[in-house]
Amino acid sequence: MTSMFKTWAIAVAMLAAPVAASATGGLGCSIDDSNLKFDFEAIFSYSDIGGLFQIRGELASKDKRTEKSLQNLTLADADVKQQWFRGNDLKLMIYRETEGDGVPFASVKLIVEATRPPDEEFGYEGKYMLTVEPAVEGGVSQAFTVEGKVGCTAG
């Protein structure tokens, strides 16, 4: 009977112990200027090792030199190649290239760098760089970069 009581007491103690909360928040970024329309949403963990997940968004390059198949993209987790979201810093790299046999290589790479101003609780301000490498058959591609401002919120 003593063994049964000990097992029961341990079970009750485990149920009564506080459970560590795994809080999450939402991140959203947007750009809409003459170069780019970009809407981005993700969930993040407040823990140091959480990262971004459940990524959704749209990236639309407004430059006609962008390969047609890369002009309007629906984003997913695999498109975020690098991320840094800690403290006052937010950095993202989104990358996609053409796929398929016989399709000339082309790519788009968007880098977002934003910081949270000291007087802001949820807002981030920064800049973006969109580098486009157009498809060129039988020649050398001339990549170009456009830049602008980005705004993000997190909470």
Regarding predicted confidence, which is higher, 85 or 57? 57
Regarding predicted confidence, which is higher, 133 or 44? 133
Query: How high is the pLDDT of residue 10?
Result: 37
The structure tokens listed for 60 are 């639309």
- Report yes or no on 14 lying in a domain: no
Minimal CA–CA distance to 38: which of 151, 134, 125, 132?
Answer: 151
- Report yes or no on 9 lying in a domain: no
Query: How high is the pLDDT of residue 42?
Result: 94
- Report yes or no on 137 lying in a domain: yes
Residue 109 above 90 pLDDT?
yes
Task: Tally the domains of the chain.
Answer: 1
Residue 3 above 80 pLDDT?
no
- Report yes or no on 85 lying in a domain: yes
- Exposure letters 43-80 (e unless 16+ CB within 10 A, then b): ebeeeeeeebeebebebebeeeebbeebbebebeeebb
Helix (H) or strand (E) holding 149: strand 144-154
- Report yes or no on 16 lying in a domain: no
Q: Which domain holds residue 31?
A: 24-154
Residue 136 above 90 pLDDT?
no
Query: How high is the pLDDT of residue 123?
Result: 95
pLDDT of 13-69, one tens digit each?
A: 333 434 334 588 899 999 999 999 999 999 988 776 668 889 999 999 999 999 999
- Report yes or no on 5 lying in a domain: no
